[in-house]
Amino acid sequence: MTNSIKLHVNGHEHEIEVALNTPLLYVLRNQLQLNGPKFGCGLQQCGACMVLKDGESVPSCRLPVSAVSKSKIRTLEGLADINGSLHKVQQAFIDEQAAQCGYCLNGMIVAAVALLEKNDKPSDDEIRKKLALNICRCGIHSRVIKAVKKAASN
């Protein structure tokens, strides 16, 4: 059984017909056709599905869509400005070539944006701690730390 629900995503309000217990991740990917948030585990263990919920980076894979109707959701797609200019964290990931397969990048970037909004000069250890939920199998960790520090300095 589906219901109509309002969602604020990337500055727009969407009205969506969906079962209210559907996790936000599936609504973002399927109803709103966003690619940023990725399915990684469905267990809130890996961070691939992270989004910014009222500025906090949170996994979206088990978050019922009904619980976020009053929140402002920002995804990877909502980080660049309307002219397409990249957020400084996105740009720093390109500059540092901080990717191999890139599947984890959504969560890494979202968590880094949340970090820099609270702490504009994070240390290596603060970055490691903030990104601790984000799994990367390719081993790009040291590039990500460089990218986050570079973004912080810009």
40 binding another protein? (CB under 8 A): yes
Spacing of C-alpha 22 from chain mean position: 18
User: x/- site string to another protein, residues 63 to 92, per CB under 8 A?
Assistant: ------------xxx--x-----x---x--
Selected binder of another protein within 19, 62, 66, 72 (CB under 8 A)? 19
**Looking at this protein, which amino acid is placed at residue 137?**
R
Quick check: 139 binds another protein (CB under 8 A)?
yes
Backbone angles phi, psi at 16, to 5 degrees: -130, 140
CA 109 to CA 98: how far, in whole Å?
10
Amino acid at 54: D
Q: Name the residue with tokens 């996790």.
A: 23
Helix, strand or coil for residue 10? coil
Q: Applying CB under 8 A, does 20 fall inside the site for another protein?
A: no
Q: Which residues bind another protein (CB under 8 A)?
A: 19, 22-23, 26, 29-30, 33-36, 38-43, 45-46, 48, 75-77, 80, 86, 90, 93-94, 97-106, 109, 125, 127-129, 131-145
